[in-house]
Structure 1
Amino acid sequence: MRLHALLLPCALLSAADRYPVPPVPADLIAPAQAALTATGLASVVLRPGTGPRPGPEDLVTVEYTLWGPDGKVVDSTARHDGPFTRPLPRLMKGMAEGLQLMRSGEQRRFWIPPALGRPTGTLVLEMELVETAPSPFKAPADVAGPGEGARVLSSGLAIRILKEGKGPHPTYKSRVQVHYTGWTTDGRMFDSSWKTGQPAAFALDQVIRGWTEAIPLLSPGAKARLWVPEKLAYRGEKGMPAGMLVFDVELVDIL
């Protein structure tokens, strides 16, 4: 990196500077000391972690680089401007199995056999488990009604802040990116942006009234649980769930 680049704010650095792709590992074939699972997944711990291990349905935030048998980069979070967050079941089999062996903060190198990755040969994966969180698909314990810490607004909308954000709040006309999961009060999930792993983008004056009211109360990075009465939700629209709906939402960005 050029010396003057060290003086630039992070926001002005390129993705390649902030998230450099690691060098090709010298051991494209698993060494003898690698731990081996029953499925043939081999791994070596590069840096131990101290946090919890994810469960099979959990949400994981990961940094990784994946190389093919020829040492060429197949994919890397460095090419996508840093870590990504996905539900563990939505990942490649070898990656999902490997993450369940890791603790938050841990870094490992894996050798993924064709049965768990690609039929063209063994893949080499260097991965860091940044953090883990409960499954975004599992209904919360207080899905039937506003739980402890919820604030009920005059409209009947109830909100509980799960994580504070930082920065400005959107207005009711802002366009935003949001991750969300929605449930009926009996715990049935009816929709989630986590099915694809991509946040939904929309204008706040073009969604259900409960969201138009609730999202402007958040800053980017904030997470909240909403109990939206039917009059602020789909109001009997054909094909949409009736009654009060519950959403876990995360304001990803204001566009």
Structure 2
Amino acid sequence: MKTMSCPTKLPTLFLNHGGGPLPLLGVQPSIASSIINARPSQTPKAILIISAHYESSPVSILSKDQHTLLFDYYGFPSQCYEYSYPARGDDTLASRIQSLLSANDIESNIETKRGLDHGMFIPLMLMYPNNAEIPVVGLSLHPSLDVKTHMKIGKSLSTLRNEVLIIGSGYGFHNMRYLLNPTPQSIGYSKEFDEYLQSMLIGDITETKLNKLVTWKEDAPHANECHPREEHLIPLFVVAAAAGDECVGELIDVAEGKRAGEHVVSNYRFSEAK
């Protein structure tokens, strides 16, 4: 796999975080290895992570002296509720994010009590298992789940890429009925939907292409079957827009089959064109 890097700016990433703690338990090894492979060569000064499991109005920016973990999953072995990732927040970065959002007429507040949900700590534990000293700030989705709004949020954050790794954590296929009981039909849905995303996200990401993504619900095959509710795909639109104008999208890898929980999902990296 060819790795794209930029000497001055970090890429933005869209990562499939898997089902609850399964990637950490070895149950979804393709998901886990795909996250690990997404780690950029540069060590960021901070990480901003947008999780599909965090929604608030107005948009919330999560930062505190010492992050705790929010175990927002149920029915797993006891060890899954004992994980620790002692990352600290970054209040200066949180304030900067708030200013960037405000400059683009996006209301936000700073949250200091919530823990890092599994959409945040699973990727962090896999990508940076020994680097909890890298400050972490979380960012919520807006519950409207409006694509244009979230692309606007992403564009507001683009200047952070000189120092900050921006991660969108979601899932390319998120229909709980099928995730719990995969069928040949649902696997086919995920494959065709993933092919649509690849056609839109690999190569030059222009303003025209971003605008076409706004109507993904109407344009993508089996969109409603793959995403009855859109929250697990919305982080993708944030990070694609955050990469800036005329960036290049790259497929990191595809996770599929039993090692990924059956359904086909892909991780993406967005970097400046060389």
Q: Same fold (TM over 0.5)?
A: no
Structure with the bigger RCO (C-alpha within 8 Å, sep 6+) is 2
The higher radius of gyration belongs to 1
Q: TM tier, shorter chain?
A: under 0.3
Q: Which structure has more strand as a fraction of its residues?
A: 1
Task: Give the TM-score taking structure 2 as reference length.
Answer: 0.25
Task: Give the TM-score taking structure 1 as reference length.
Answer: 0.26
Q: Which structure has more helix as a fraction of its residues?
A: 2
